[in-house]
A and B are shown apart, each in its own frame.
With several copies, the nearest count.
Chain A
Amino acid sequence: MYSEIVMDHFRNPRNVGRIENADGVGQVGNPKCGDIMKIYLKINKDEIIEDVKFETFGCGSAIASSSIATEMIKGKSIHEAVGLSNKAVVEALGGLPPVKIHCSVLAEQAVKSALYDYAQKNNKVIKGLENYKPEDDEIHCQH
């Protein structure tokens, strides 16, 4: 069902945990839908993501998506990181089953949401997040 890479990231997720006094925190999803992702960013003055951690409530691919997303943005500048697409996450994972694609979307949104939080707190504008509204991004599961 899942690729080797997904299973590897699920089994040994990278960057699990929290960052106290993080520079940016983003949380997306909700328990009703069965997925929540929370991303913590430590960003230095050169706008490089020095550290990133995640917490996820969700299925195997949600955990794997969070894990790989943190790896993909760690050490990147915030301007690069904001370009992380769910498609890139899916590709990096070696594919996801169709019913699980939304997990990669959540990962993209969690990263964006954390960056947005950082931008708000620091009164910055990140290209690509100008019109970002966290609440718009919410996936509504159908219940």
Chain B
Amino acid sequence: MSKKLYLDNAATTRVKREVLDEMRQYFDELYGNPSSQLYELGRKSKQAIEKARKTLADFINADEKEIYFTAGGTESDNWALKGVAFANFNKGKNHIITTKIEHHAILHTCEYLEKFGVETTYLDVDRYGLVDLEQLKESIRPETMLISVMYANNEIGTIQPIEEIGKIAKEHGILFHVDAVQAFGSIRIDVNKLNIDLMSMSAHKLGGPKGIGGMYIRKGTRIDNFIHGGGQERGRRAGTEGVQNIVGFGKAVEIASRNLDERAERLTALRNRLVEGIKNNIPDVVLNGHPTRRLPNNVNFSFKYVEGESILLLLDMEGISASSGSACTSGSLDPSHVLLATGLDHGTAHGSIRFTLSEEITEEDIDYTVETMKNIIAKLRAMSPIKNDEDLKKN
């Protein structure tokens, strides 16, 4: 096993060389606290943060004053939901609309907010993972304060009709939050065109460092602070800034914005090659997610009659890193809530594998992956007591 193929770029990405180079001096040379504006070292740190902020703002057509740095996509999601819910605490508005296929950062936050009287409607999705705009409209109540829908799903890659949802939210005067953690960096996002009020971003999904995220908050949005303390981030998000991480985030976004379209095109071609390769070489598979409205780098298949973890372990032995369901839930015994929401039965859901590509991947890598999968699935199916869909649906 000499080959090493990392196909789990939705879980996290390798930090790009240019990103690390940019970060380097912020560890032991320009290490000042950005709040210390009265000496050079502090001012340099502050400038570095503001440069990164501008990069993010430009990338999504926002104003710099609308960008805040957080510790990651999860914190941003928490801030959006809790911030809006608590701003409306005891004020009569207590209803959130979201979907059944959100990341746990959204779903578990909604669950938690129940104890503060918040009610949540979880929209269904169709077999491709798309929400139904009619159901969304019907779910709106006078108490609805927030609609939160992810831009693209982390497991199946399905891209939601964000612009249409933004229109509906605006028409009803409801705030619109978008978890764009997976889409950010691979899809061009214009927060104004899409009527987005709040948006979550994370650096480690696009070649930036782990533990740093971003939050877009449209000017004038009524939202409580989430982390209280010092005056950082214009008094909206306290805590000494992870300057080196912010610098890395900015650089990663700069790189992503440079050749976004060509990259998306190239990845889409590779993605389609992998989809076709698997479909044509392995029987009894189901493509999860939408055939075309999906992230350029996402492939997700269910392989009937076998179980995901075994596939992953065998892939690992062949040097291929992939995932089964979302990274956060691997190790859990439950099949992915996303796949179940698309109507997959449990048995089939258990046999699902996600491959998420990066720029570093070649056509040869794709072909190697198809070949490897063919052997693995054959081996495991030979071992399986389930031989057909009837077996699968038992229980």
Interface residues of A (CB under 8 A from B): 1, 7, 10-11, 13, 16, 27, 30-38, 55-60, 62-63, 99, 102, 141-143
Contact = CB atoms under 8 A, between A and B. Distances in A.
A111 to B, nearest CB: 15
Contact of B307 (A11, A34, A99): A34
B37 interface: yes
Contact of A143 (B305, B307, B334): B334
Contacts of A30: 394-395
A63 B335 CA distance: 18
A58 B335 CA distance: 12
Band of interface residues on B: 20 to 34
B331 A55 contact: no
Given A10-B310, A31-B346, A38 B385 contact: yes
Interface in B354-395: 382-386, 391-395
B384 A56 contact: yes
Contacts of B393: 31
Contacts of B345: 31-32
A36 B310 contact: no
A24 to B, nearest CB: 15
Contacts of B310: 10, 58-60, 62-63
Contacts of A59: 307-310
Nearest to A6: B313
Interface centre among A13, A34, A62 (most CB of B within 10 A): A34
Contacts of A141: 333-334
Given A32-B346, A34-B333, A56 B385 contact: yes
A31 B313 contact: no
A13 B313 contact: no
Contacts of B392: 31
Contacts of B307: 34-35, 57-59, 62
Contacts of A27: 385
Contacts of B334: 141-143
B347 A1 contact: no
Contacts of A34: 307, 333, 335, 346-347, 350
A35 B351 CA distance: 11
B43 A1 contact: yes
9 contacts: A10-B313, A13-B383, A31-B347, A31-B392, A34-B307, A57-B306, A62-B307, A63-B310, A141-B333
Contacts of B383: 13, 16, 55-56, 63
Contacts of B382: 16
Contacts of B306: 57
A11 to B, nearest CB: 7
Nearest to B350: A34
Interface centre among A38, A58, A99, A143 (most CB of B within 10 A): A58
Contacts of A11: 317
A57 B386 contact: yes
A99 B306 CA distance: 19
Nearest to B331: A99
Nearest to A35: B307
Nearest to B37: A1
Contacts of A16: 382-383
Contact of B384 (A32, A57, A142): A57
A30 B347 CA distance: 8
Given A16-B382, A31-B350, A57-B307, 8 more contacts: A31-B391, A32-B346, A36-B386, A55-B383, A57-B306, A60-B309, A60-B310, A141-B333
B254 to A, nearest CB: 26
A11 B316 CA distance: 11
Contacts of B335: 34
Interface centre among A7, A27, A37, A60 (most CB of B within 10 A): A60
Interface centre among B38, B384, B391 (most CB of A within 10 A): B384
A13 B317 CA distance: 15
A135 to B, nearest CB: 12
Contacts of A37: 385
A11 B347 CA distance: 23
A32 B392 CA distance: 8
B333 A33 contact: yes
